[in-house]
Amino acid sequence: MPQFSLTVNNNKYDVDAPADMPLLWVLRDLLNMTGTKYGCGVASCGVCSVIIDGNPVFSCQRTVGSCVNKKIITIEGLSTDGSHPVQKAWEQAGVPQCGYCQPGQMMQVVAMLEKNKRPSEETIDQVMNNVLCRCGTYHRIRKAIHLAIDSLNS
Ligand code: FES
Ligand code: FES
C-alpha cells in the first residue's frame, strides 16, 4: 500500500493507505483521532468537518492522497485542555446534548472566525447550515458563536 505523509494538528504522520481512502477513516481508524465523527458519508451532514489549509472541509469527501502537503486541523488540535475560545464558549453556553455533531460544528466555527473575527449574521447562518444537529442545539450554538466573537474581540 502507498505511504502518505500527513500533517495533522502540527504533527507529521506516515500512514499506509489506499490513495482513495477518505481522510475521515485515516483520522479515525489509522491515527486514532476519533473526535471527528462519521454521520452520512455523502456530504449531507457536516459532522465530519475538519480544517484543511484554513478552510472547513468534509473529511468524508477528501481522499488521503489529496491531503499530502496540506495542514489538517481536527478537533483534537484546538487545544489539549479545552482552552480554545470556541471550546470555552461552547462550555459556557452549555451547547451539547448528545454531543455527536459538536466537533463538526466547532470546526466550522473555528474556520469562520479565523478568517473573520466579526462575521455577519448571514455568514453565521451559512456556517450553521453546514452541519446538522439531530438534537436541535442551534439556539445554543448561535449563543456560543456570539460568546466566542465577544471573547475574540475583547
Ligand atoms: S459524514 Fe461527512 S458530511 Fe456527513
Ligand atoms: S448535539 Fe446531538 S446531534 Fe447535535
Query: Which residue ranges have their beta carbon within 6 Å of ligand 2?
Result: 96-102, 133-135, 137
Q: Can you tell me the distance from the alpha carbon of 120 to that of 39, in angstroms, rounded to the nearest whole number?
A: 28
Using an 8 Å Cβ cutoff, are 103 and 36 in contact? yes
Q: Is residue 110 over pLDDT 90?
A: yes
* Centroid of ligand 1 to alpha carbon of 37 (angstroms): 8
**How wide is the angle at C-alpha 121 spanned by C-alphas 117 and 126, nearest 5°?**
95
Average pLDDT value for residue range 117-134: 98
Which pLDDT tens digit goes with each residue over 136-151?
A: 999 999 999 999 999 9
Cα Rg of the chain (Å, integer)? 15
- Average pLDDT of the chain? 97
Percent of the chain beyond pLDDT 70?
100
Query: Which residue ranges have their beta carbon within 6 Å of ligand 1?
Result: 38-41, 43-48, 58, 60
Q: Is residue 2 over pLDDT 90?
A: no
What pLDDT is stored for residue 147 in this prediction? 98
